[in-house]
A and B are shown apart, each in its own frame.
Chain A
Amino acid sequence: MDFSRRDLFKAGGKLLVLASVGATLEQITGAEPASDAYKMADHWWGMIIDIDHCIGCGNCVRACSRENGVPHGYFRTWVERYQIEEGKQPRVDSPDGAMEGFPPNTRERLKSFFVPKLCNQCAASPCVQVCPVGATFVSPDGVVLVDDTYCLGCRYCVQACPYGCRYLHPQKQTVDKCTLCYHRITKGLTTACCESCPTGARLLVDFKNPKDPVHEILRNNKVEVLKPYMATQAKVYYKNLDGAVR
């Protein structure tokens, strides 16, 4: 057979070009399995929480637990009650994460308010930075998610989160956290906690939507994120947040 070294190199080169083109095509086309109307690039999700509207009923905690199958004793969202006497350390309680609300407290002469908490969906998230296997990440639409099939359960991210929003799922042995109800918001629904909040203290917002009320809220109110000095670029904004809240 007449097959020179030159022919061999030529054929090899062609094969290489074909293979790389094929691989690139596969990367572009085969990556986004859900072929629907939802475009990740059009959204940048966050939340506004109005402290002055929260009544500590615990509806959000129960709804989150039900919607996401959160195991008993673990929380993707919870509500804290702050009680501050002048000149003293604040007292903070959250019985069972406020799953059944709070035992009534009618003490006068006390600054007291509720603070709902959840994953702050940080854009520069410490939990994502420390993951050694690429199991947790900020999605293109700004939600911090966990890949169950990649997570080793090493708990680095649980320690890295400054807000205490992650836990190791006792059955799955992988890390679990608030997904901002990613399975709902990508279908055009709001999160379970926002859906069930009776006073509108929680509001799911999309920073990339020019018609979203978030722009007006941020313009007309004093807002703050939790632990701004951590420089996590948190996207959960609190209206009328007291300085005592950590």
Chain B
Amino acid sequence: MWFARKEGVVRRLVRDAGHLIRPALVLLAGVAVFLVVRSAIVPKAFGQYGHYRPGALALVRQRPIAYAGQDTCVVCHDDEATARAAGKHAHVACEACHGALAQHADDPAAHVPQLPDVANLCRRCHEKDAAKPPTFPQVVTAEHSGGMACNQCHQPHNPHL
């Protein structure tokens, strides 16, 4: 008697389970599609160092350099380097005044550098300003030179008179 009743319950469950199984299948299919698409889109090494694409590091490193660096300049221009080393500008890198010259270092004939604009160049560093460290040499250019260019008296590589 009880057995027959139980069999009835099981049969009813199986018969009514359709509305559970069908959405479950749809859900499973959705998850499967998500996993396939995800594996196709996310780069293989993603997460190797953290939550990012390690290839991005190489991408950032690809950028070409514009400033060749002090060591490259002195390979050819050792006479200027010697003159500079004796004076107050010993610790000022070549490209601090002459600008970015990596292209010139790569091909000196094709990229001839322009001489710096002395009127602005010297003033930017040496014009008197209360915010500058008091020990740094500063002048009020209008009073100091009366409009004369700095390099008429000072030799820029070794500016001492």
Contacts and interface: CB of A to CB of B under 8 A. Distances in A.
B128 interface: yes
Given A101-B124, A134-B51, A195-B69, A81 B100 contact: no
Q: Please classify the interface of chain A as helix (H, G, I), strand (E, B), loop, or mixed, using the class held by over half of its residues.
A: loop
A102 B56 contact: no
B109 to A, nearest CB: 22
Interface residues of A, number: 64
A31 B65 contact: no
Contact of A137 (B52, B96, B123): B52
A32 interface: yes
A3 to B, nearest CB: 25
Q: Which of B52, B62, B64, B99 has the most CB of A within 10 A?
A: B52
B70 interface: yes
B140 interface: yes
Given A23-B44, A150-B52, A182-B60, A107 B66 contact: no
Nearest to A114: B131
B120 to A, nearest CB: 8
Contacts of B95: 63, 195-196
B92 A198 contact: yes
B55 interface: yes
10 contacts: A30-B44, A55-B132, A59-B96, A67-B65, A107-B130, A137-B56, A139-B49, A145-B57, A147-B56, A183-B62
